Structure 1
Amino acid sequence: MPTDLKSSSYQISKPENRIYLARFLKSLRAKMRQKAALLPGQIDVENLELLRDFPQFDDRFTAPMHGFKSADDYYEQSSSGRYLATIAIPTLLVNAENDPFLAPSCFPRDVAAASKFVFLETPPEGGHVGFAEGTPDGEYYSERRAVEFLMAEVPA
């Protein structure tokens, strides 16, 4: 989970992630064109192709459409990292060390070490797709761990 949206937005903009970024931006551009068609005169999609990364897209669309002053304001207010230290119920975070979209700040090791409620698991592998294990039933490590965690933490 990207507990730090700003760092994740820059992480996905790195050259090694350009194939992912291009695909995401293509999808977001198409969605903005659809929204503009549904809301004539309310959404300016001129020069949409000039937006080259998430910070640019979020500054132009995400932030203003959701009441934020800027992409940075959106990232700051919407990132879950700032709330982790105040969590008072058992919470499991599972982030693969090799997730190409997560910057080091998305691994709240200090918070987890200091909290009796925040549990951080960082398997070395898993990428960004929920730790697909290739089982015939399509089981995912992250889903299995969530169920195991709940079974251990929630009284019967």
Structure 2
Amino acid sequence: MREVVRHVSTRYPKANIYAVGWSLGANILVRYLGEESHRCPLSGAVSLCNPFNLITADEDFRKGFNNIYNKALAKGLRSIFKRHLLLFEDMGGGYNIPLAVNAKTVKDFDEGLTRVSFGFKTADDYYSHSSSSDSIRNVCTPLLCIQAANDPIAPSRGIPPDDIKENPNCVLVVTPQGGHLGWVAGAETPLGAPWTDPLVVDFLEHLRKGRQPEDPDPSFNIDESEHNPSENLESLEV
């Protein structure tokens, strides 16, 4: 993330750069924003369905119906890894190749392979140090966070609402429905674009105009008639 932003900033030094992250990508983005803090070159960012606390997300991921998602993702990771097994034949460093090859859950795969690659002692250690829940308080870039209360992959109990609300650079929107990146609405449902797409663009356009917080911008608003979010906006937490 840091290298990409640095590259784009160098190539286009006069441009305003914005970033949008989905799911685990949102966690990476928010963690980056917090680490860079006031040094961050981004002019604005949006986080959608961020798991925030990866330990909490992993706990919920292994419960009830969520096991279906867990097993499906683990299967995909095994499939990708098996195509590259030869690269790990003579590689030491504590990799547990049998565990990764036969991983039943994402955590099994992370325990056998991912956490070793990044130098962590355990998968939980990896999750703890990679979570963005402790980074949000250091974010100095305008940031819009959109979450769904019924998200099975990014559980609402992992959201750090107090830290977000206390940070004047952040806005939190929590919809009662939406699942994991499933904010569908309007006449074209379920094939149309999510209602969050125009909302994200409105937010970034608001930032592009360079308006100050005390200068209200009527072009940025969470308006049901404009974005047609149907029942998703019965309640908002901002």
Identify whether the pair has TM-score above 0.5, normalized to the shorter chain. yes
Corresponding position of 2:113 = 61
Secondary structure at the counterpart of residue 18 of structure 1: helix
TM-score, normalization by structure 1: 0.86
The 5 Å alignment of 1:102-121 reads 102-121=154-173
Greater displacement, 95-104 / 38-47: 38-47
Measure, in 1, the Cα distance between the counterparts of 2:157 and 2:127.
Answer: 13
How far is 1:44 from its partner?
Answer: 5.2
Q: Which stretches in structure 1 are left out of the alignment for 5+ residues?
A: none
- Would you say the 8 A contact 2:71–2:106 is kept in 1? no
The 5 Å alignment of 1:70-81 reads 70-81=122-133
TM-score, normalization by structure 2: 0.59
Question: Out of 82, 89, 93, which is 1:33 matched to?
Answer: 82
Q: In the alignment, is residue 122 of structure 1 matched against residue 183 of structure 2?
A: no
How far is 1:139 from its partner?
Answer: 1.2
- Would you say the 8 A contact 1:108–1:120 is kept in 2? no
Which structure has the highest helix share of the two?
Answer: 1
Secondary structure at the counterpart of residue 95 of structure 1: strand
How far is 1:61 from its partner?
Answer: 1.2
Measure, in 1, the Cα distance between the counterparts of 2:84 and 2:185.
Answer: 37
Answer with 1 or 2: which has the greater Rg. 2
Question: Out of 141, 149, 153, which is 2:203 matched to?
Answer: 149
Secondary structure at the counterpart of residue 82 of structure 1: coil
- Would you say the 8 A contact 1:10–1:55 is kept in 2? no
> Cα deviation per residue 1:41-74 (whole Å; 9 max; x = unaligned)?
336532533x333333212111001222221221
> Cα deviation per residue 1:105-153 (whole Å; 9 max; x = unaligned)?
4322111221111111111111102413363773122322211111223
How far is 1:18 from its partner?
Answer: 1.7
Measure, in 2, the Cα distance between the counterparts of 1:152 and 1:74.
Answer: 36
Q: Which stretches in structure 2 are left out of the alignment for 5+ residues?
A: 1-49, 211-238
Corresponding position of 1:2 = 51
Q: In the alignment, is residue 133 of structure 1 matched against residue 182 of structure 2?
A: no
How far is 1:9 from its partner?
Answer: 1.4
CA shift in 2, pair 1:106/1:44, >3 Å: closer
Secondary structure at the counterpart of residue 181 of structure 2: coil
Instruction: Kindly tell me the number of residue pairs found equivalent between the two proteins.
Output: 155
The 5 Å alignment of 1:40-51 reads 40-42=89-91, 45-47=97-99, 48-49=101-102, 51=103
Measure, in 1, the Cα distance between the counterparts of 2:129 and 2:197.
Answer: 27
Higher RCO (CA 8 Å, separation ≥ 6 residues): 1
Which structure has the highest strand share of the two?
Answer: 2
Greater displacement, 33-42 / 10-19: 33-42
Superposition RMSD in Å: 2.2
> Cα deviation per residue 1:4-37 (whole Å; 9 max; x = unaligned)?
1111112111122121111111101111212213
